[in-house]
Structures are given as C-alpha cells and as structure tokens.
Structure 1
Amino acid sequence: MHRRAAALAVPLTVIALTVSSCGNIPEEWRTPAFMRMDGDQLDSRLPTVTGDVGEAPEVAFPDIEPPEEELSGVVDEGPSEEELVRADDLVIANVAQFQWTGPGEGEPVEGQSSYETGAPDLIRMTDMPEQISSVLVNQAVGSRAVYVFPPLTEEEQAQAESMGQPPQVGASVLVVDILDRFGMGSVVPGEQTTDGGDGLPTVTQEGHSEPTIEIPEGDAPEELEVVPLIEGTGDEVEEGQQVIVQYTGVRWEADENGDHPVFDSTWTRGGAPFDTTIGAGSVIKGWDEGIVGQKTGSRLLLVVPGDMAYGETEEEAMGAPAGTLVFVVDVLGAFDNPPPAEPEEGASEGAEDGGEEAPADEESPEGEATE
C-alpha cells in the first residue's frame, strides 16, 4: 500500500500492510463460487454509490445523521468467472475516502483517492482488521465494497490531530474497488521457453513450487545477465513502479559442501508475493536494472555480479550474501506509485533528494534483495 492509510480516519489506521508468512495454498484450491457470501440485503443507511467499478465513484449520502456504528456491504459483485479474494491474498484495489458530514451531505476527502493519483493500493489481507477483510473475502475481482465508520470520539480526534491529520467531521466512508489479486504461491502463466544454460545457471520449476537452480562450473559472468525464461505479454515495467514478484536467490559460489543453498526466497515464507518499488534504489542495483523494461508476466533469470548486489560493505557489516548472486524472479504485476508529496512552503529543496542510495524498502523482511 502507498502508506496512505495513516492519513485516513483513526479507525482505519490499523491498515498497516506488512509481509505475510502464511502457509502456501495452491491457486487450484481457490474458494469455489458456490461458497460466496452474497445475497445479503444491503443496509439502507449505506450511502448510494454509482459508476462503474474501476472508475471514480459517485457517492450520495442518505438524508439522515451519520450512523454511530460501523456499516459495510458489497454494492457491486464482480463477474462470476473472475477469481475470488482469499483471506491471505495480496489485493490490488482503488480506494476513495469521503466524509459524511450531515443529513444528505458529504464530500470527498482531498488527497485520499487512488483514482486521483492513478496509483492503486496494494492490500495484504492478512493485515486487515476483521471489519475490512470479512467483506472482501470470497468476493470476485471486479467487486466494489462500501464501509462507513462512525464519527470520531474526542479521544480519537485528539489522536488523529496528534498525527497531523485535519479535524474530522462526521462519519468516514470508504469505497474499495477490487482490481486484481495475487495469492500464496502465485506464479506467472505459460511454459518456460528456455531453462538458461550455455554457461549460465539452469532453472527448473514445476507448477506452484520453488524453482531449482543449478550453477554451472566455471567463473561467474562479470556483467549483469538477464534471461527471460518465460516472456510475459503485459506492459513493460517502468522505473518507480511497485512490482509484485515471487523470487528465489542463491550464490554462484558454492559453500564448503559444494552446494548452493537458497539464501532468500518468497517460497520460504509460504509463497507470499513480495512487493517493492523498482528502479529507485529500494533494492539491489541488479534488480533495478534487470527488472525495469521487462514485461509483466515474465519469469527472469538474473545473474547479478557482486558490485551490483550487496557489495563488500554490507556483506561484512550485515552478513549479506557475498559475490555474484543468481535469482529467479516471476514478475507478477507492476503498478504506479502515487506522485511524491509536494514539499511544504519553505522546505529545503535538497531534502527531496535522498542521494543515490535510498533506504531499504520498509516492507522487506530481513534478507530481502534490498540494499
């Protein structure tokens, strides 16, 4: 998610999205349509939301005072042939917030709509509060949900203001459009057209499983090598986008037993897809240069020389894997990030420039391919 949750009303500040470590559930086990929890009549106190899912919603507020309790419901159900959201998914959604200020009155909250920025939210369902996740689980991609959160108490209002939020008036209304989902063990579609080789590592991978990487004899390449094992058909990944990937990494150099054990992998975390900003210094240089420009839906073999990986400083100080590294990366999706916030008047222009090396992505667990 684009760290917008902290700017929402206090009841939603718990939407802090971090890496999940749930068990691996194959895609073939997704919830069948007949188990969907639909058909419940919507609460008449819910605002009326119009417009197509995937486009900015129009919201009409009932001619009553904002309710003093939480309300929610699915106002548009996605096509029955679409995949259903599971409780451990990474969901791509457009989110818009409104403030219900009085009978029949309300307005959008400025800066709180991904439709304005063109950058959808990445929502890890395992980190959602129950009142959010219970509505989305078992709904099809293409569905739209609406939530109403009651006006803040005096204590909550004080907490919100202490976090730099403007005063909240009335109830908060959240509209969530489900655009896509990525499940535990998601991989790119298609068959490998090459397994690498010819002086480079050889990769085999069966279905929704961790790839096997065999390192050839001989010296590692001195330059970055990028080989599409499966060439995707999606758009090219752009610098500054958020990418969603499955990956596995091993060292080219063998250990004392002659093996090349995995030093980091999403598969060791149950196949939970990893997301990060690409091309902006949040990950190692070999990822930034190797993934930008590749098509989404691709499976990539990356052979990353040491000077484009962690380098001697981090290898020594942080125990990062040394030397040339080999990754197999499934590029599941790529989505725009919101534009950077405009600096406050009088702020130093130099503060915007963080230098060449950005801090590690805050969602990366220890051992990720981050600098």
Structure 2
Amino acid sequence: MFYALANSRPANSWRVVFTVLLSLLLVLSLAACSTTKEEPTPEPETTTVTVSGPAGEVPTIEFDEPFEFVSPVTEVLWEGSGEKVQEGDWVMLHMYALNPETGDEIRNDYTGLPQAYVFSPKTIGSELYNSLVELPFGSRIMHVSQDKDVTQILVVDMLPARSVADPRPVDKALPEVSYEENGKPIVSVGKKLTKPHELVVQHLKSGSGLQVDEKAQVLVHIAATTWSDSKEFYSTWEKDAGPIRFKVGVDKVIAGLDQALVGVPVGSQIMVIIPPELGFGQTNSDLAKETLVYVVDVLAATTVPEK
C-alpha cells in the first residue's frame, strides 16, 4: 500500500509537467530560428566584357554601356601550349588597354614590337605578375582595374622571349651550343674545328613567323663569342640587359649580322659565324682580328611597307 501511494500523482500535476515541457520546446525552437545565419547577398560583378581576335593582332573589346566598375577582375581568356612561366624567365608581353568609360586607347603594343621583361613582380608589377604567374607561354588574360578613378580594360598576350622551335641538326664542323636553364645559349668552339673565312649561317631552330625583311625593325636576343677562345664578349641575356631592337640594314650592327638576319623567320634561332671583314675588322676594336660566333634568337619583326 505504501508503495502504491508513493508512486501515484494527481492528474493536475501531469498537466503542469506537460505544459512546462511544451513551453520549453517552443523557447528552444525560437532560439534555433533566431541563430540561423542569413545567406550573404552576392556582390555585383563588373560589367560583362567580351574580348575576341587572334594572338598577335589588336584584340576587339566589347562591353555593356554605360560601363560600371565594381571591383578588379582577372580572367584567363585562353591558356597557351608552352611551358609554364617561371620567375626569372625572359618574357614578351603584347599589351592593349583602353578606358571603357571614355573609349580612349591607353596602350597598344600590337602595332610595333612587343616589350621584353625579366618575369618578376619588380619588373612588371605585382598585380600583373600575380595574374600571369604559373600560366603557360602563349596565354592571354584580361584584367579590369581602376587607378585614380581611371578605369582600364587590359588584354595581355604572354610569349617566351627566346626561340622555342624544334632543334635542327647542326653540322659537326661548327661550334657546339648548349643552354642554361633560362634558355641562354653557351657556345663552345672545339680546338680541332677549321675556322671559316666566309659568313656562315646555321639554323639551330626554325621558326614559322614573319620573315625578316631588309629595313625591318627586329627584336633579338644575342650571345656573342670569340672563335679563338670561346669567350663570351657580349650578351643580352643578363637581367640588367635584355633583348635589343634595331633596324636591319642601316649600319646599326656589324655587317655580318645584318646580312644573316634577312629572310630568317621570326621564332628562329641561328648561329652566325662572322669573319673579321664583316665584323669589327675596319675598327680599332680589340675584336678587329677575331672571327665571331653569334647565336641569335629572332623574337619579333615589323613588316616593311610596300613602296
């Protein structure tokens, strides 16, 4: 009897317990709803921009008007098929930029020779460097930015500043050419080789670009060595140097180099052996009696207007 009395409850007490539990569940449900995070509203994107046209030509840029800049945007328009660019590589950048708010052209490298740079944040700027790093050569990007309230749409084609054509067989009677990691050629003249007395032009790599005409502007990398001791006396491959540009056939370089470049396709690498009379033979230079070995990467050339 005692046990029965101890475990029995009045009916009203069960109603009280049920009401308390129901209230507690309601409070917990409301608390859970109040802590649910709302989805962030996506930020508006920059006005749609479309870029068309092949590499090597001025790109066509189309966009909605009026153009509204919201935030910087970088887009890889296509990836090239070359090796990935690494810091310290020599690169050529074709750049085209316009102000979409005014329609003014800010920069156009496609009407002449491209610019060559050592690939680093210091030389091309950290923003452009970060947009291009780890991309393969032959890639094109678009970068939309704003500086001091001036908006610009920039299109950049990135090309290697060295010949990447397939190697060709080289006559064993000519000097050997090896390469450093960045592509710089190193010439070694064997002691048993017979020194030629006429101009020799050997294609080490044959490009497929525009052929260099007389009076064309060219952009070239050069490594120049003396035949007598394989000593390099001139190079554009150093970080503080860089590819040089000049007009063919106007006495800007030695005669042997002028003659050798005519007809060479852009993208080629040639070895030119130059006797003294086509080199520095008519000067007071220490190289006046030397036969010279030039390895030349033909990076770019302009067309010569028809007469």
> Which bracket does the TM-score occupy, shorter chain normalised?
0.5 to 0.7
1:331 aligned partner? 297
Deviations 1:104-150 (A, max 9, x none): xx30327x3234x2x35223134212122221122232322224232
Once superposed, what is the RMSD of the aligned Cα atoms?
Answer: 3.8
Deviation, 1:194, is: 0.7
Q: Give the length in aligned residue pairs.
A: 250
Deviation, 1:215, is: 6.2
- Whole-angstrom CA distance in 1 between matches of 2:200 and 2:195: 17
Q: Residue 204 in 1 paired to residue 166 in 2?
A: no
Query: Which structure is higher in strand share?
Result: 2
1:122 aligned partner? 115
TM-score, normalised to structure 1's length?
Answer: 0.55
Deviations 1:323-352 (A, max 9, x none): 33312314343332799xxxxxxxxxxxxx
Q: 1:294 to 1:312 in 2, by over 3 A?
A: same
Q: Residue 228 in 1 paired to residue 202 in 2?
A: yes
* Gap runs ≥5 in structure 2: 1-41
2:243 aligned partner? 274
Residue number among 232, 237, 259 corresponding to 1:289 in the alignment: 259
Deviation, 1:289, is: 1.7
Deviation, 1:212, is: 0.4
- Whole-angstrom CA distance in 2 between matches of 1:338 and 1:96: 22
Q: Residue 263 in 1 paired to residue 233 in 2?
A: yes
Deviation, 1:72, is: 4.2
1:57 aligned partner? 60
Secondary structure, counterpart of 1:302 in structure 2:
strand
- Percent of aligned pairs sharing the same letter: 15
Q: 1:338 to 1:291 in 2, by over 3 A?
A: closer
1:89 aligned partner? 89
Secondary structure, counterpart of 2:257 in structure 1:
helix
Q: 1:99 to 1:217 in 2, by over 3 A?
A: closer
Deviation, 1:73, is: 0.8
Secondary structure, counterpart of 2:152 in structure 1:
strand
- Whole-angstrom CA distance in 2 between matches of 1:92 and 1:63: 33
Secondary structure, counterpart of 1:192 in structure 2:
coil
- Whole-angstrom CA distance in 1 between matches of 2:43 and 2:115: 26
Residue number among 144, 150, 154 corresponding to 1:175 in the alignment: 154
Counterpart mapping for 1:62-211 below 5 A: 63=66, 66=69, 71-79=72-80, 81-101=81-101, 106-109=102-105, 112-115=107-110, 117=111, 119-124=112-117, 125-126=119-120, 127-140=123-136, 141-151=138-148, 171-182=150-161, 189-195=166-172, 197=173, 202-206=174-178, 208=180, 210-211=186-187
Secondary structure, counterpart of 1:248 in structure 2:
strand
* Gap runs ≥5 in structure 1: 1-40, 152-169, 340-371
Deviates further, 134-143 or 84-93 = 84-93
